[in-house]
Amino acid sequence: MKPEITFSRSTKQPSGIAVILSGSDGKGSSGSEYADPEDVAARAAKIAAFSGKQLATVDVIAPAGSSADRILIVGTGEADARDEQFWIRLGGRICGAVKNAKRVTVWLDMQGSKSTPQEAVNVALGIMMRAYRFDTYKSKKNDDDKPKNVKFTIITSSATSAKRLLPQAEAVAGGVALARDLVNEPANILGPVEFAAHAKALARLGVKVDVLTEREMKKLGMGALLGVAQGSARPPRLAVMQWSGGRAKDKPVAFVGKGVVFDTGGISMKPAGGMEDMKGDMGGAAAVIGAMHAIAARKAKANVVGIIGLVENMPDGNAQRPGDIVTSMSGQTIEVLNTDAEGRLVLCDALWFCNDRFKPQIMVNLATLTGAIMVALGKHHAGMFCNDDALAEQISSAGKATAESVWRMPIGPEYDKMIDSKNADMKNIGGRFGGAITAAQFLKRFVGETPWAHLDIAGTAMGSVSSEINKSWGSGYGVRLLDRLVADNYER
């Protein structure tokens, strides 16, 4: 579905679905008389024992005197519990109720509480995120599945300011949709070169994009990343995206993403069951490109760099073997004891390159790095590993604000010992226990003194818990988190 969203102060001719809000205190939308002249909403709510609980709904056929077809009553709960996430989820809930309507009108002002521009725009954001579909490869679309151009009109006394803010929400929703598309896209279509082309496409938003080829990476000495790539027929890429919306002298904020377009495990091959999910092993890179889209499209007043390491992990006559020793760009050597622990090998060169080239004020990397993080945290939080308390606090807050939650995990010298190697500076696995932590500890060896955080998003980027604003397999997790981190802390 492609939603078209407008704001208006009032309407006399609502058609399609009329959405009327109702709180726990019985106070409902104001100004919706044209949709519901006989107040059937109130009667229907009473019959359905509707108490106005947040996001509870009652759906009725509109009476003869209304120009609308259906009336959807949506609970708004207690006034003081209507936070930012509530309005976003409300938009999602409304969008999910559209069925075959062509028009939806929402009365957002309530008796005694006028809607703010930000609330109105958050409803729009929820609508846009819920409207996402991945149906590129469905050649036979049945009528219900066909994308429809649904027109949403949000009635609010803040219409003028909401209209002005809408492009910001569109920027964010666009970034989320881009990230979801990339995660959902199968690996036969989306190889490293094709992924890099999506990065290149951000140039139209004013992002400077450079794509490094295999030869250039060889020159830089990225032996760890290249070792992973060497088993694939498709060559690797490293995409560097720069948005310069801040002062020229401001050091950039840097985001780094794991972009393994498919992870077979390499010679240490994964079992067959569920391997198809490894088309999403570029969820970190997808979040970074999606965040760069959002940041550029809303013209953020900050300098932001996004770097993504793009490879395919395949077994092949030329693939790297367990026991191989590679030299990373940093000069540190790595004994590859398990070729399936490849994400850290890609990231270590991308992180080192990023730190060396851009001297960023902070560096945040995202990666579908370990199955162990799902064992530890399930699917509701990403794991956060961080060498700087202030940065950890900023990321936690951004996570709370966007409902892209993180949970801080430990790092420390005890764990660091677990990745020391007899034959090289380190090995790429740390043993049976604390697998997500030893992976983080590995990355930490490549970030110097720069405030840095690693987000392990293996449980949140794909196959995630369905929500009011997401029914897609690829969730787009991280896009809003990173965008918010910049908006709240790094814009001038």
Rounded to a whole number of angstroms, the minimum distance from the CB of residue 448 to ligand BES is 24
Find the residue with minimal CB distance to ligand BES: 371
Angle, in degrees to the nearest 10, between helices 159-184 and 117-130? 30
For residue 171 the two structure tokens come to 């920027």
Vertex 12: Cα angle to 49 and 52 (nearest 5): 20
- Cα torsion 334, 339, 343, 345 to 10°: value is 20
Rounded to a whole number of angstroms, the minimum distance from the CB of residue 85 to Zn ion is 31
370: partner contacted, choices Zn ion, Mg ion, ligand BES, none (Cβ within 5-8 A by kind): ligand BES
* Cβ nearer to Mg ion, comparing 170 with 342: 342
Rounded to a whole number of angstroms, the minimum distance from the CB of residue 424 to Mg ion is 19
Rounded distance, CA 255 to CA 481, Å?
Answer: 12
Q: Minimal CA–CA distance to 482: which of 378, 376, 390, 363?
A: 363
* Cβ nearer to ligand BES, comparing 372 with 391: 372
Rounded distance, CA 122 to CA 128, Å?
Answer: 10
* Cβ nearer to ligand BES, comparing 365 with 368: 368
Rounded to a whole number of angstroms, the minimum distance from the CB of residue 343 to ligand BES is 5
Rounded to a whole number of angstroms, the minimum distance from the CB of residue 421 to ligand BES is 14
Pick the stretch among 49-57, 98-106, 166-174, 258-266 that binds Mg ion (CB under 5 A): 258-266
For residue 121 the two structure tokens come to 């725009």
Amino acid letter for position 149: N
Rounded distance, CA 475 to CA 472, Å?
Answer: 6
- Could you say which of 119, 263, 349, 404 contacts Mg ion (CB under 5 A)? 263
Q: Of residues 279, 344, 427, 445, which has the active-site annotation?
A: 344
Count of beta carbons in the 10 Å neighbourhood of residue 317 = 5
Find the residue with minimal CB distance to Zn ion: 263
* C-alpha pair distances (Å), 401 with each of 251, 292, 295, 451, 480: 25, 19, 17, 22, 9
Q: Minimal CA–CA distance to 456: which of 471, 484, 437, 473?
A: 437
109: partner contacted, choices Mg ion, ligand BES, Zn ion, none (Cβ within 5-8 A by kind): none
Show contacts with Mg ion in window 332-351 (CB under 5 A).
Answer: 340, 342
Strand order in the sheet with 17-23: 2-8, 149-155, 103-107, 17-23, 70-77, 57-61
Give residues in contact with ligand BES (CB under 6 A). 263, 281, 338, 340-343, 368-372, 429, 435, 458
Instruction: Report H helices in 239-332.
Output: 283-297
* Cβ nearer to ligand BES, comparing 121 with 326: 326
Residues paired with residue 45 on neighbouring β-strands, in sequence order: none
Q: Minimal CA–CA distance to 222: which of 320, 325, 353, 356?
A: 353
* Cβ nearer to ligand BES, comparing 131 with 369: 369
Q: Is 444 a catalytic residue?
A: no
Rounded to a whole number of angstroms, the minimum distance from the CB of residue 437 to ligand BES is 11
338: partner contacted, choices Zn ion, Mg ion, ligand BES, none (Cβ within 5-8 A by kind): ligand BES
Rounded to a whole number of angstroms, the minimum distance from the CB of residue 341 to ligand BES is 4
Q: Are 421 and 335 within 8 A, CB to CB? A: yes
Residues in contact with Mg ion, counted by CB under 5 A, come to a total of: 3
Q: Of residues 27, 133, 234, 270, which has the active-site annotation?
A: 270
* Cβ nearer to ligand BES, comparing 147 with 410: 410
Give residues in contact with Zn ion (CB under 5 A). 260, 263, 281, 343
Which residues have a Cβ under 8 Å from the Cβ of 30 and sit 6 or more positions away?
A: 107, 109, 110, 111
460: partner contacted, choices Mg ion, Zn ion, ligand BES, none (Cβ within 5-8 A by kind): none
Rounded to a whole number of angstroms, the minimum distance from the CB of residue 265 to ligand BES is 6
Q: How many CA atoms lie within 13 A of 15 on its CB side?
A: 6
354: partner contacted, choices Zn ion, Mg ion, ligand BES, none (Cβ within 5-8 A by kind): none
Burial of residue 423, with CB atoms counted within 10 A of its CB: 0-12 exposed, 13-18 middle, 19 or more buried: exposed
Count of beta carbons in the 10 Å neighbourhood of residue 413 = 7
Find the residue with minimal CB distance to Mg ion: 340
294: partner contacted, choices Zn ion, ligand BES, Mg ion, none (Cβ within 5-8 A by kind): none
Q: Is 427 a catalytic residue?
A: no
Rounded to a whole number of angstroms, the minimum distance from the CB of residue 135 to ligand BES is 24
* Cβ nearer to ligand BES, comparing 371 with 412: 371
* Cβ nearer to Mg ion, comparing 128 with 443: 443
* Cβ nearer to ligand BES, comparing 147 with 431: 431
Burial of residue 54, with CB atoms counted within 10 A of its CB: 0-12 exposed, 13-18 middle, 19 or more buried: middle
68: partner contacted, choices Mg ion, Zn ion, ligand BES, none (Cβ within 5-8 A by kind): none
Which residues are at the interface with Mg ion (CB under 5 A)? 263, 340, 342
> Which residues are identified as catalytic?
270, 344
